[in-house]
Structures are given as C-alpha cells and as structure tokens.
With several copies, the nearest count.
Chain A
Amino acid sequence: MSTLSSEADLSTAVAGVKLKHVLMNASGVLGALPEHVTRLANYGLAAVVTKTFTKRPREGYGPPIILRLENIGFLNAVGLANPGVGAVPQVVRRGKELGLPIMVSVGGSTVEEYVEVASVSADAGADLLELNLSCPHTMGYGLDVGSDPSNVFEVTKAVASVSKVPVVAKLGLSDNYIKSAGKALEAGAKALTLINTIRAMVIDVYSLRPVLSNVFGGLSGPPLHPIAVKVVYDVYREFSPEIIGVGGVTNWVTAAELVLAGAKAIQVGSALSSNDPRELIRSILGGLSEWVKGLEYVRLTDLVGLAHRK
C-alpha cells in the first residue's frame, strides 16, 4: 500500500481553480511581499492569498498592532499596511514561480480603486481575486461596504464585469450578511469568503488606555469560530454557493465544522502564528484525511454542507 492510497482525497476547486487540498492562508497573514509568498508556500498551503492591496501604499498603524488575548483569540489593527498595487505583479509572479495558485486580496475606498487594483492583479496573472468588503477597522475601507448589500453589489459588479479572473467576495459578520452574500453572487462573484474579523477592543487597566494604537481592532482566532460556522451555514442554506470558510481554524476539527457547514475550501489566519506552521498545516490535513476515511467517504468535498442533511 503506498502512502498516497491510504490518504483521502482532499483536493478541491474554487471558482474553477483546482487546489491540491483545501487549505490556504487567510488574507493579511504575510502575503504582501514575494518573500512572504515563498514562506507561505513552505507552510504547505494549496494556494496563497495576498495581503489586501490598495491603490496607494499604506504604512498601516504603529505598534501595538496585534495582541494575543487571554480568550485565546487575537486582536489586530494592522491598518491594511501594504506596499500598494505597484507591488502586486512581483508578488503574483512569485506565486507562479512556485507553481501555486494565487488569490489577490483587493481593497479600496472607492469603486474605482477596487477596479484598478483588480485590473492590475488580473493582468499580473492572479488566479483569483478576493474582494475585501469587510476589513472592519479602516475607515472608508471594509465594513462600511460589506454591511450594505447594495454597496456589495456595486463593487462586485464593477470588478466582475471587467475582470477575466474569477471574483470571490469576502464578507464579515453584519446584520445583512445573507442579503450581502446574495447580492455578491448576483453581481457575479463566483465564490464567497466568510468571514472577516469582528470589531473589538482591549483596554489596559494599568494605564487606563486602549492598547492598540488604533484604539480598536478586529477579533480573530478561536473566539470567531462558532460565529463563522453559523455564517457559513446560513449562507450555504440560502444559496449553496462556493464558500471559502475562515475564522478560528486551529486544527482539523475546526476545519471540518466549516466544511460540514458548507465550505469547500478553508483559510487559516491567526493560527499561522503557531510555533511550527508547517506542522500545523500537515496535522490539519492529516486529521481531515483520517476523518474523511473514518466516515467512509472518498473525497473531502463529498462532506461539504452535510450538516444541512435532515
């Protein structure tokens, strides 16, 4: 028996792009420079997602920008630090050189900016575009867009109608996430990434000050996980679209729950701060493989959305 035949089939596809397995990084974890792409590739991910790129370079906030929390989550306000759209081509090129599909995360404060970053990325050879409609801590960027279904429609439509590359819309938690998801799909998104961080803050009780230099930030990691499962579940029940699940994935079980809720690919963000990200990815994949086999399935994708079965 070869090792291969004893493993379940963990391959998947997002918007027609084939992936050798279901795991990629979440946007914002590395992914702003070619060297980051190399590093992510070494972690054993099936695809690389870039940092959200904006038209102009953004310095981002000064430290503290990320906190590990006692509630085992993370709180970040990086401020969309990125070298600007000009750096996209070299980042995409590195992905190509490494033979990995690459999804460029596209940000903007106006529809035009989204379109511009998307065009440059498409021209550079990106395999997928992820519209960051949900970064919750940058004024004018993010949540303002994603929580308003008509904005979601407008941005997605504008990008999808000029882009030859499939568009994935990334949404966060909001009152209207089901509507926003519907609008994104209607506007031409081929898949949805769910979910982004949730606004939160931490105050230092000694100096009596908010800790993050930006005062508040986005909560990620395990605290988010059951919320992400719910959002994925609801959106899948409504539209059964292609979903990339993200939020608090730290092991195979957390990934498996998102799959059962309806995700056909998974992003890992905060957990890549683990001591050994390569081993983390291996162990998630190993666990998923055992799980699929244990349930007597052949392909992980056969389990997508099965929690909806009556």
Chain B
Amino acid sequence: MGKSEELRIWSGERLKRDVSTHSIIPARVVLNRALSRRFHIIKVRPLTLIKRPKPVQFFMVWSPGVDELPLSVAGYNASGEITFIYEIKGPGTRRLSELKPDSFVGLKGPLGRPLEVADGGTALVVTGGSGVAPVPFITKHLASKGYQLEVVWGVKRGDELFNLCSLMSGFEYLNIATEDCSAGYCGLASELAKSLLSKTRYDLVVGVGPKKMLESLCKATLGVKTYVVLEAIVKCGLGLCGSCVLQPTDRLLCVDGPAFKCEEVIEYLEQ
C-alpha cells in the first residue's frame, strides 16, 4: 500500500492532510477531569496541523451530535495539544465532561483576534469566575513578551480554587480573592485589583471575567492600557450570523474580540 503508513491516523495518530471536508478538525481527547468543584480541564490532540493559537483566541468545540461551544485556549504545547478549562453550565459542557480519553471532538478555529500588546513593562491580569480559563495562556504570552506580571483571581467559594500556579509560568505573584473569605483576600477580585492598582503603576491590565467585574476594572484603570476579554453567544464564529454582537456597539465578539480595549466596549459593559 506504499503511502498508507502515513494514513494511520487512527491507530498511529500520524498527521495527515485531508482529514475533513469542512472546517471542523477532528481531535482526540487526551485527558478530561475535574480541577476543583467548579472547574474541569480537557486536553485534546488534533489529527492534523492546526494553525497555532494565540491568546486570547478560542475554538468552537464540537461534541458530535450534541452541541458546539466556544472555549478559550488555556494551553498549547509543542506536540500540538490544546488545553481548555471549563465549567459545567448546561447540557453542552456537561456532555463535554463525560467524554472519555480517546473519544473524538471537533475543533473549529483558532477563532478571534490574538491579544496584541507592546513589548515589556508591568502587567496585571484580573480574573473572576470562569474567566480563569484563558489566563494560563495569557500569562505565558505576557511573560514571553517580557512583562513582569501579577495575577488576581477571584472566586465565590474557596473550593472552586485549583492549583492555577501549576498551569502558569512566568508570573510574579498570584493573588487570590474569595467571596466566602475562605482563602486569600476577602472580597471581590475587582476590589483587590483596585487596591493593587492604587499602589502600583501598571503598563498593562488584562481583565477576564464577569461583565460587572470588567466594568469596574475599566473604570479603575482610566489612563492605563486595559484590555477586557468578553463572552457572548457565539454561533458561527465567522462574523456572519450576528449573534455575538456586543449591543449597543456594532462589535462582533467572534471576529473583533474576544479582547477589547475598554473604550471600545464601555457602552456594552455599562448596560
């Protein structure tokens, strides 16, 4: 069969072109498990070369026959494996959590614009809720750009926490905030962030989390270059269907975002 050795995409998992007639690329689940009461992690290996994702890009992750969900890249390694961190919210993420290693998902992406930042300086990354998902990938990138950086991570309850440090690299310090006061700072991530902002001068602030948190972050960082990473209902990921529009602006999250400068989306955040 000559070339057929190269086609052993199933058993041998060799990479091959022409694995699909459409933009969904098959990927095998490598691991899939809980990180904490709230968060799960899934690592997948695409069967074919995928464009190298950059922070804060995301993939539409298709569970065949069930649903297709947007998930931000949490990590990407040299063998092309992609990691996502997710929270079970409804049927789609529940089904995702049930996938066994070796089963197939489909990946569409990377979608969205990469976060583009100038080189070097000091940075603060503020995250809350499921916003933590892209943070490891963001911090890795900022560190590689020469940033000295600090992270604020806020959760409601202490048992949502997991060892975020072990997934990150190159950050200066991880500040924890819990609303149940079971660990770290007692209160909201945005409050902790504000107090840090009042004491240190940052060149760059990146916020990922609930709308309210991002709104207050934007207001606390007037004058500092601040990016907020948003969520919206993504259906097509191509700028065609309009479902991800950030009303009342005319920005489409899937093609213009998911990261925006505060001034681009402040009307949306204030809504």
A and B touch in the complex (CB under 8 A): yes
* Contact A207 B104, beta carbon cutoff 8 Å: yes
- Total residues of chain B contacting the partner, CB 8 A: 43
* Contact A35 B245, beta carbon cutoff 8 Å: yes
Partner of B238, one of A32, A68, A251: A68
Nearest residue, chain A, Cβ from B246: A35
Nearest residue, chain A, Cβ from B25: A206
Nearest residue, chain B, Cβ from A270: B240
B77 sits at the interface (CB 8 A): no
B220 sits at the interface (CB 8 A): no
**In the complex, A270→B245 CA distance in Å?**
18
Most buried by B among A70, A81, A289: A70
Question: Which B residues touch A30, using CB under 8 A?
Answer: 240-242
* Contact B18 A253, beta carbon cutoff 8 Å: yes
Most buried by B among A66, A209, A293: A66
| Segment among B8-16, B116-124, B127-135, B199-207 that sits at the interface with chain A | B8-16
* Contact B68 A63, beta carbon cutoff 8 Å: yes
- Nearest CB of B to A4, in Å: 10
Question: Which B residues touch A273, using CB under 8 A?
Answer: 236, 238-240
Question: Which B residues touch A28, using CB under 8 A?
Answer: 240
Question: Which A residues touch B234, using CB under 8 A?
Answer: 63
- Nearest CB of B to A204, in Å: 6
**In the complex, A285→B4 CA distance in Å?**
9
A78 and B24 in contact, given A35-B248, A39-B252, A290-B8 (Cβ under 8 angstroms)? no
- Nearest CB of B to A163, in Å: 26
- Nearest CB of B to A267, in Å: 13
* Contact A64 B18, beta carbon cutoff 8 Å: no
Nearest residue, chain A, Cβ from B254: A273
Most buried by A among B9, B67, B243, B250: B250
A218 sits at the interface (CB 8 A): no
Give 7 A-B pairs besides A63-B68, A206-B104 with Cβ atoms closer than 8 angstroms.
A35-B245, A63-B235, A65-B235, A66-B237, A78-B236, A269-B240, A290-B8
B residues at A contact (CB < 8 Å): 1-4, 7-11, 18-24, 26, 60, 62, 64-65, 67-69, 104, 106, 108, 234-243, 245, 247-250, 252
A residues at B contact (CB < 8 Å): 3, 7, 28-33, 35-36, 38-39, 42, 51, 60, 62-71, 74-76, 78, 81, 202, 204-207, 209, 211, 213, 225-226, 251-254, 257, 269-270, 272-273, 277, 279, 282-283, 285-287, 289-291, 293-295
